[in-house]
């Protein structure tokens, strides 16, 4: 009897042992797999956060297909006085910077007129010193003759030396500078230069840019509809680290993706695109209404996927902009705003046809003509690529006149 019981227990023990051995590898594998998934999620989160923190480098290689996660967001001096950083002091300035960073802004653009003005220098260096403790990058805007005031300084050699010195003192916060309306026309009668680029040539800016530190970035503001853009490419592109790109026809987005693609091909430099959530002076003179929510969402949809960064022009309190800053990492958000883009473009094409039939002369027709130029250039470019004639630059001529 004892022998039989012993045999039964022995066999049962072997059975349990074999069962455990058969199950353990799978249980262990499941545990490792679960741990791997958790680690993967953590790594994704860390990478996303690092992408946000390191997203200020405009020199990173770019491609025309991107996602909102990859785009740097800058702010062009806001209307809201609570965030005009250069005019704030001490703790107030620190809190404003912290708020902008938490909202998702990584760059801040503002105008400086004179590097020899003690008040202006003090204001700039206080801002740079405060920002130097954070991840916010500062880009100083210089005004061309078409916009400059009587006290605007055009001593390019002095500016370059000043920016080089700022980079040594505040390497973390000073990103570089932009010159506004670089290839735009001048409507002022108190300057002999019809185009801003003519003044850049006259003042020999290209020679002086050679002395710019490589760590001081130069981002000229160029327009799709600008004049003598070919000169910008030929004489200045070697000194350009990236472009701030704007459109004088921002009420029309039908050809925006193609325009951005062409500029990237022509300049071969990273692009930040200007988003106008509020009306500019020239459009207000023509009794335009402010941009609609749908127009802003359409612009955001296209530019977020076709550029290296966005710059919000002044109105950071616009509800659409606020929603974009909060939702741009949500998986569903790009799809949602893309729907508005399709409707916007469809309506623009319908309106364009109506304007042709009425033969009315207004800003719509001017913008339609530009859109046509870019569409034709883009289509020619694609055909040449298909034919293996990528070195044929005939398609660029209408754009670079």
In a domain, 397, yes or no: no
Q: Which long-range contacts (CB under 8 A, 24 or more apart) does 155-160 make?
A: 155/115, 155/116, 156/203, 156/204, 156/205, 156/208, 156/209, 157/208, 157/211, 158/115, 158/116, 159/115, 160/208, 160/209, 160/211, 160/212, 160/216
Co-location of 22 and 155 in the same domain: no
Question: What is the model's pLDDT at position 398?
Answer: 82
Q: Residue 357 domain-assigned?
A: no
Verify that 213 and 244 share a domain, yes or no.
yes
Same domain, 282 and 194: yes
- Of 35, 53, 71, the residue at which a domain comes to its end is 53
Q: Is the pTM of this model over 0.95?
A: no
The pLDDT tens digits for 88-129 are 999 999 999 999 999 999 999 999 999 999 999 999 999 999
User: What pLDDT is stored for residue 290 in this prediction?
Assistant: 97
26 with 106, same domain: the answer is no
Query: Between these two residues, 238 and 32, which has the higher pLDDT value?
Result: 238
Quick check: is 398 in a domain?
no
Among 198, 211, 226, CA closest to 161: 211
Same domain for 331 and 249: yes
Domain with residue 150: its CATH number is: 3.20.20.60
Number of structural domains in the chain: 2
Q: Is the pLDDT of residue 259 over 70?
A: yes
Asked if the structure places residue 388 within a domain, the reply is no
Per-residue confidence (pLDDT) for residue 84, from 0 to 100: 98
- Do 116 and 15 fall into the same domain? no
**Based on the domain organization, do 238 and 142 belong to the same domain?**
yes
Q: Are residues 36 and 123 in the same domain?
A: no
Per-residue CA distances from 361 to 75, 128, 225, 358 (Å): 34, 47, 18, 9
Distance, in Å, from the CA atom of 218 to the CA atom of 182, rounded to the nearest integer, reads 12
pLDDT digits (tens, 9 = 90+) for 4-58: 444 444 444 444 444 434 433 333 322 332 333 333 333 333 233 333 333 444 4
Query: Is residue 379 included in any domain, yes or no?
Result: no
Closest CA relative to residue 275, chosen from 226, 314, 237: 314
Do 47 and 127 share a domain, yes or no? no
Evaluate whether residue 138 is within a structural domain: yes
Give a yes or no: residue 362 inside a domain: no
One domain, residues 168 and 47: no
Domain extent, residue 167, equals 62-346
Q: How far, in Å, CA of 172 to CA of 283, rounded? A: 38
**Per-residue confidence band for 208, with pLDDT thresholds at 50, 70 and 90:** very high
- Tell whether 249 is covered by a domain: yes
Residues 12 and 97 in one domain: no
CA 56 to CA 242: how far, in whole Å?
12
| pLDDT tens-place string over residues 335-347 | 999 999 999 999 9
At residue 41, φ and ψ (nearest 5 deg) are -65, -40
Q: Are residues 99 and 18 in the same domain?
A: no
């Amino acid at each position: 009897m004892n022998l039989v019981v012993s045999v039964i227990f022995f066999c049962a023990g072997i059975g349990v042992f074999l069962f455990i051995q058969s199950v353990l590898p799978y249980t262990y594998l499941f545990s490792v797999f679960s741990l791997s998934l958790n680690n993967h999620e953590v790594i994704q989160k860390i990478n996303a956060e690092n992408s946000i923190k390191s997203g200020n480098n405009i020199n990173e290689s770019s491609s025309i297909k991107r996602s909102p996660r990859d785009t740097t967001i800058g702010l062009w001096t806001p209307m809201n006085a609570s965030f005009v950083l250069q005019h704030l002091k001490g703790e107030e300035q620190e809190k404003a910077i912290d708020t902008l960073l938490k909202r998702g802004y990584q760059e801040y653009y503002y105008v400086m007129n004179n590097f020899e003005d003690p008040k202006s220098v003090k204001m700039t260096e206080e801002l740079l010193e405060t920002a130097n403790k954070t991840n916010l990058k500062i880009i100083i805007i210089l005004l061309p003759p078409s916009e400059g005031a009587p006290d605007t300084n055009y001593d390019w050699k002095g500016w370059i030396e000043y920016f080089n010195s700022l980079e040594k003192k505040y390497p973390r916060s000073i990103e570089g500078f932009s010159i506004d309306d670089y290839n735009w026309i001048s409507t002022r009668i108190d300057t002999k230069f019809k185009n801003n680029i003519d003044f850049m040539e006259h003042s020999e800016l290209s020679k002086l840019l050679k002395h710019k530190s490589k760590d001081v970035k130069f981002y000229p503001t160029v327009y799709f509809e600008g004049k003598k853009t070919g000169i910008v490419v030929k004489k200045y592109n070697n000194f350009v680290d990236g472009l701030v790109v704007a459109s004088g026809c921002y009420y029309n987005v039908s050809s925006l993706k193609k325009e951005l693609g062409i500029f990237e091909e022509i300049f071969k430099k990273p692009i930040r695109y200007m988003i106008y959530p509020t009306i500019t002076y020239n459009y207000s003179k023509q009794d335009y209404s402010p941009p609609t929510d749908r127009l802003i969402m359409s612009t955001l949809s296209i530019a977020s996927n076709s550029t290296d960064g966005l710059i919000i022009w002044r109105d950071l309190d616009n509800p659409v902009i606020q929603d974009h800053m909060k939702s741009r990492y949500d998986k569903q958000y790009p799809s949602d705003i893309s729907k508005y883009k399709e409707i916007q473009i469809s309506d623009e094409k319908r309106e364009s046809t109506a304007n042709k039939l009425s033969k009315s002369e207004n800003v719509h027709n001017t913008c339609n003509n530009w859109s046509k130029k870019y569409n034709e250039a883009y289509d020619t470019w694609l055909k040449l690529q298909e034919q293996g004639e990528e070195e044929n630059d005939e398609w660029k001529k209408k754009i670079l006149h």
